[in-house]
Amino acid sequence: MIIGTLALLASIPGQTMGVGVFADNLISALNLSRTQLSTAYMLGTIGSSLLLPFGGTVLDRVGARVMLAISSFGLGLSSALLSQSDRVASYFAPDSFYAVMFVVTGCFLFMRFFGQGCLAMVSRVTIGKWFNHRRGLATAISGVFVSFSFSVAPRALDELLRTWGWRVACLMLAGTVGIAMFIVGLIFLRDNPEECGLVMDGVDDEAWHSRMAAKIPKTRREFTRPEALRTPAFWAFNFGVSTQALVVTGLTFNVSSLGAEVGLSREQAYELFLPMSAFTVATTFVCGWLSDRIKLKWMLIVMLVAQSVGSVGMMGFGESFGWWLLVSGFGVSGGFYSVLLTVVWPRFFGRKHLGAISGVNMSTMVLASAMAPVMFAKAYELTGSYREVIAVCWSMPIAVILLALTAENPQEKISVEADASQFRKV
C-alpha cells in the first residue's frame, strides 16, 4: 500500500496540476499562445491515451514492479526534456513554430503516458491486487495522503517554480521521480501477495467469511477485457470517473485565468486547492468505509451529483457562495473518485486481467482530460468567458447518472445464477 501510494504521488509531474503550474512559463519560453499550448497538451494527451490499453496489457505481463521502474524512469526523462524543450526545438530548427509544437507535444505525450497513465495505473492495480475485503479501507488510508498531496501540489510547485525558476524546478522533479522512485520500486514492490507466499488481506476467504458477515461478493469469474467492455457497469463507472477527469483538468489547467476573470490574483486562485483537500480527505475516509458495505453504484451517483455542484460553483468562483460550492463539490467528488477508481475494477471483474481493463479506463480518462484545456481555452477565445463551457461541465454528470442506475456488479449476477444452479441440482 505504501509503494502504491508513493507511485501515485510520483505521477504528479505528469498530472494536470503538475503541468498546469508551468503553463505560463512555457507559453513565454516557447512563444506560444495559450490555445496553442493547450492544443499541444491535448495532442500529447490523446496520443498517450491511445497507448494506455497497450500499457495495461504490458502491466499484466511484466508485473507492477517492472512497470513502476519503467514508468518512473520514463516520466523523469520526459520531464527533463520539457525543461529544455525550447532549446531542443531551436537546435534542430531555429525560429520554427512546427519544431516547437513537435517537441512540446512529444514531451506532453510521454509525461502523460508514464505519469497520469502508467504510474497511476500501477498504483491502483497494486492496491487492488493486495487487498479484497479491506480494499476500501486500504484505498481510504492511501487516499488521505494522495488527496492532501494532490491538493497542495499546485501551490507547492508554484513556490518551487518561483524560488528556482521553471527549468530547475522541472529538473528537480525529473530527478526525484526518475531516479528515487525507480530505485524504490525495484527494491520494495512486489506484484501480488501470492509471490511472497501470502494471501490478500492477510487472511483467506474462508477464514474471513467464518468470522465476518459476507459483504463483498466472491470473485467467481475473472473477466477478460472484451468481456468487461460488454457490461453496462464498466461504461457507467468509466464515463463517471472520466467526467471528473475532464472537469477537474479544465479547472486546474486554467485556474489562474478563471480567477482573473472574476478578479482574483494568481495566488488567491491557487488557494482553493487546500480547503478542497480537506473535503477530499474527509470524504475519502467515509467512502473507503462505505465501499466495503454498500453497492458501488450509489457511490457513483453521489460523486456525479457532487461534480455537478462543483461545476455550478465555478460560475460564481469570485463570490463566497460560489467558492464554497466549488470547493465542497469537487472536494467531495474527489474523495469518491479516488476510492472508486481503485475498488471497482477488481471487485467487478477480478484480478487476472486487471491491467488490461484498467488500461481502457485510464485511456478514456486521459482522453477526457486531453479535451479539457482546449475546450476551456477555445470557449474563452470565442466568447471571452468560461460560462458556456462550465454549463457543459455541470450537465455532463447529470446525463451519466441515468447510466449509473444500471451499474450492477457482474459478480453478483453470476453468484445468483450459481446459487440457482445449485438449487436445481438439489
pLDDT value at 77 more than 90: yes
Q: What is the mean pLDDT of the chain?
A: 87
pLDDT value at 425 more than 70: no
- Three-class secondary structure assignment of the chain: CHHHHHHHHHCHHHCHHHHHCCHHHHHHHHCCCHHHHHHHHHHHHHHHHHHHHHHHHHHHHHCHHHHHHHHHHHHHHHHHHHHCHHHHHHHHCCCCHHHHHHHHHHHHHHHHHHHHHHHHHHHHHHHHHHCCCCHHHHHHHHHHHHHHHHHHHHHHHHHHHHHHCHHHHHHHHHHHHHHHHHHHHHHHCCCCHHHHCCCHHHCCHHHHHHHCCCCCCCCCCCCCHHHHHCCHHHHHHHHHHHHHHHHHHHHHHCHHHHHHHCCCCHHHHHCCHHHHHHHHHHHHHHHHHHHCCCCHHHHHHHHHHHHHHHHHHHHCCCCHHHHHHHHHHHHHHHHHHHHHHHHHHHHHHCCCCHHHHHHHHHHHHHHHHHHHHHHHHHHHHHHCCCHHHHHHHHHHHHHHHHHHCCCCCHHHHHHHHHHHHHHHHC
User: What pLDDT is stored for residue 45 in this prediction?
Assistant: 87
The whole-model pTM stands at 0.80
Q: Which residue has the higher pLDDT, 272 or 207?
A: 272
pLDDT digits (tens, 9 = 90+) for 176-201: 999 999 999 899 998 888 888 777 76
Under the banding of pLDDT at 50, 70 and 90, the label for residue 71 is very high
* Percent of the chain scoring above 90 in pLDDT: 50
Domain residue limits, the chain: 2-189+207-409
pLDDT digits (tens, 9 = 90+) for 271-287: 888 898 889 888 988 99
Fold classification of 2-189+207-409 is Growth Hormone; Chain: A; (1.20.1250)
C-alpha cell at position 123: 498504483
pLDDT value at 420 more than 50: no
pLDDT digits (tens, 9 = 90+) for 99-137: 999 999 999 999 999 998 899 999 989 988 888 777 888
pLDDT value at 229 more than 90: yes
